């Protein structure tokens, strides 16, 4: 048996239509789930999510537009492409069909090739979009690795240099001791150099070890969606640590206000990815690639079984006409440089993975403010 090319939910109150479409698409290797009313369709998606929905407009009780609006309002189903079905004889409001979130439409009586072409195209577009989102996530991991490599270079370099001076002075002491009359002053000064060199080696290796620890945590977390206990303040610090080389040459100050020992059971990778995206956006968009100075206050509060995060920056802010678009996939004011997926990914992590909410407010010229709230298990 051929593997299924995709799961399609067909919603139509006319059984004959359901039948024709089911047969047409099954023959081409699609898996079909029929529903003969809007309510049935809404129930049906609760068990398995389809890859695409074919939705009749004219239906008793709840019409197609309304069903589509319900799909789009639900985070679980909002991304599934909806193709409307309209009869030539229907009064079909195309503008309304697109404004409620439809991506396309087919008309009855069906032309098999046309229906198949549209279904295939939208399934392909949808997959492409998912792939882009995945590659953006991988790219952010790539940036993390690059940043880490850069960051660990300095302490390792210093440690190597000072370890080699240890060797030089150890040899020098050896030589001094071979002489008949040992010059105590020189011996003491060589020992002092060794002490200094050892301290420098140690502190730099400690810094490198710290970096490895926080990198290990963030890199592993960013690639997994695992739930574990973690300290919120530590996670924020780890994230800032991994972005250190992007922020160190700027006059941007990050202020963290977070309760001590605030340990939650949640997905640390998700939490860190949200922060990374917000911080990178403040740097790039808010503070013009770090050319401008400013402050990023991050405030975390515990509210019962919810974590409440207030993230803001004192950067350029977002124009009112763009504000409502920033959570849309591919919306960017940095065309050619940004993917426009950062905020979309954040929004999805918060609403889908963490089952919380995320909003954004901004005054042009004054900066942005993001409010994030999600439930967690307390141990």
Ligand X SMILES: Nc1ncnc2c1ncn2[C@@H]1O[C@H](COP(=O)(O)OP(=O)(O)O)[C@@H](O)[C@H]1O
Query: Taking CB within 5 to 8 Å according to partner kind, which of ligand X, Mg ion, none is near residue 368?
Result: ligand X
Q: Give least dist CB 137 to ligand X, A.
A: 13
Two tokens, residue 346: 């954040």
Dmax (CA) of the chain: 114
Question: Does residue 348 interact with Mg ion by CB under 5 A?
Answer: no
286 binds, among Mg ion, ligand X, none (CB under 5 to 8 A by kind): ligand X
Tokens representing 294 are 């400013």
* Interface mask toward ligand X for 327-346; x: CB under 6 A: ----xxxx---xxxxxxx--
Q: Verify binding: residue 290, ligand X, rule CB under 6 A.
A: no
Would you say 118 or 316 has its CB closer to ligand X? 316
d(CA 351, CA 203): 42
Smallest distance from the beta carbon of 281 to Mg ion, in angstroms? 5
* 331 touches, from Mg ion, ligand X, none (C-beta below 5 to 8 Å by class): ligand X
Using CB under 6 A as the binding rule, whether residue 307 contacts ligand X is answered as: no
Contact partner at residue 313 from ligand X, Mg ion, none, CB < 5 to 8 Å by partner kind: ligand X
Task: Give kind and range of the element (H or E) at residue 344.
Answer: helix 342-348
Separation CA 256–CA 100 (nearest Å): 41
**Closer residue to ligand X, CB minimum distance, 188 or 251:** 251
Q: How far apart are CA 68 and CA 57, in angstroms?
A: 9
Q: How far is the CB of 347 from ligand X (least distance, A)?
A: 9
Confirm or reject binding of residue 313 to ligand X (CB under 6 A): yes
First-to-last C-alpha distance (Å) of the chain: 48
Question: What does 42-104 look like in DSSP terms, one character per residue?
Answer: HHHHHHS--SEEEEES--SSS-HHHHHHHHHHSTTTTTS-EEEEEETTS---HHHHHHTT--E
Please identify, using beta-carbon distances, which residue of 116 and 132 lies nearer to ligand X.
132
Q: 176 vs 323, which CB is nearer to ligand X? A: 323
What is the distance, to the nearest Å, from the Cα of residue 39 to the centroid of all Cα atoms in its chain?
Answer: 33
Residue ranges in 327-346 that form contacts with Mg ion under rule CB under 5 A: 342
The count of other CB atoms within 10 Å of the CB of residue 188 is 10
Asked if 295 touches ligand X (CB under 6 A), the answer is no
Q: Which two tokens stand for residue 304?
A: 């019962």
- For ligand X, give the closer residue by CB, 50 or 367: 367
- Round to whole Å and give the CA distance between 53 and 55: 6
| Per-residue mark of binding to Mg ion, 260-299 (x: CB under 5 A) | ---------------------x------------------
Listing DSSP states for 276-320 in one string gives: HHHHHHIIIIITTTTTS-EEEEEEEEEETTEEEEEEEE-SS---H
CB of 239 to ligand X, least distance (A): 16
Q: How far is CA 41 from the centre of its chain?
A: 30
| 300 is a contact residue toward ligand X (CB under 6 A) | no
Q: Does 86 bind ligand X (CB under 6 A)?
A: no
Look at residue 341 and give its three-state secondary structure: coil
Cβ atoms 20, 47 nearer than 8 A? no
Helix (H, G, I), strand (E, B) or coil at 134: helix
Task: Tell me: does residue 316 bind ligand X (CB under 6 A).
Answer: yes
Q: Take residue 257 and report the two structure tokens written for it.
A: 């206000």
- The H or E element that residue 35 is part of is strand 31-35
Tell me if 51 contacts ligand X by CB under 6 A.
Answer: no
CB of 282 to ligand X, least distance (A): 4
Q: Which of 106, 318, 354, 372 binds ligand X (CB under 6 A)?
A: 318
Q: Least Å distance between CB 346 and Mg ion?
A: 9
Binding residues for ligand X, rule: CB under 6 A, are 277, 281-282, 285-286, 313, 315-318, 322, 326, 331-334, 338-344, 368
Binding residues for Mg ion, rule: CB under 5 A, are 281, 342
């Amino acid at each position: 048996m051929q593997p299924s090319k995709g799961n399609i939910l067909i919603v139509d109150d006319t059984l004959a239509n359901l039948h024709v479409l089911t047969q047409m698409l099954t023959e081409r290797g699609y898996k079909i789930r029929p529903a003969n009313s809007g309510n049935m369709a809404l129930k049906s998606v609760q068990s398995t999510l389809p890859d695409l929905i074919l939705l009749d407009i004219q239906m008793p009780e709840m019409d197609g537009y309304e069903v589509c609006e319900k799909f789009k309002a639900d985070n679980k189903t909002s991304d599934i492409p909806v193709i409307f079905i309209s009869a030539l004889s229907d009064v079909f409001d195309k503008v309304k069909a697109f404004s409620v979130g439809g991506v396309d439409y087919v008309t009855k009586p069906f032309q098999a090739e046309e229906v198949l072409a549209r279904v295939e195209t939208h399934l392909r577009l949808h997959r492409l979009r998912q792939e882009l989102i995945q590659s953006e996530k991988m790219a952010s991991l790539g940036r993390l690795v690059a940043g880490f490599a850069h960051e660990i270079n300095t302490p390792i370099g210093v440690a190597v240099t000072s370890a080699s001076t240890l060797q030089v002075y150890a040899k020098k002491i050896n030589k001094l001791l071979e002489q008949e009359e040992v010059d105590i002053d020189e011996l003491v000064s060589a020992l002092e150099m060794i002490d200094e060199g050892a301290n420098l080696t140690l502190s730099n290796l400690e810094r490198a070890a710290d970096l490895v620890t926080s990198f290990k945590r963030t890199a592993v977390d960013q690639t997994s969606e695992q739930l574990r206990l973690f300290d919120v303040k530590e996670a924020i610090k780890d994230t800032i640590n991994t972005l250190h080389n992007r922020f160190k040459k700027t006059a941007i100050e990050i202020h963290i206000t977070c309760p001590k020992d605030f340990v939650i059971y949640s997905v640390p990778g998700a939490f860190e990815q949200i922060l990374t995206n917000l911080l990178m956006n403040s740097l790039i968009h808010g503070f013009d690639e770090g050319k401008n100075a400013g402050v990023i206050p991050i405030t975390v509060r515990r509210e019962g079984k919810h974590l409440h995060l207030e993230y803001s920056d004192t950067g350029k802010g977002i124009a009112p006409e763009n504000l409502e678009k920033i959570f849309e996939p591919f919306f960017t004011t940095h065309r050619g440089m940004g993917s426009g997926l950062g905020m979309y990914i954040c929004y999805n992590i918060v609403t889908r993975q963490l089952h919380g909410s995320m909003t954004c407010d901004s005054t042009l010229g004054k900066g942005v403010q993001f409010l994030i709230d999600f439930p967690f298990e307390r141990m």
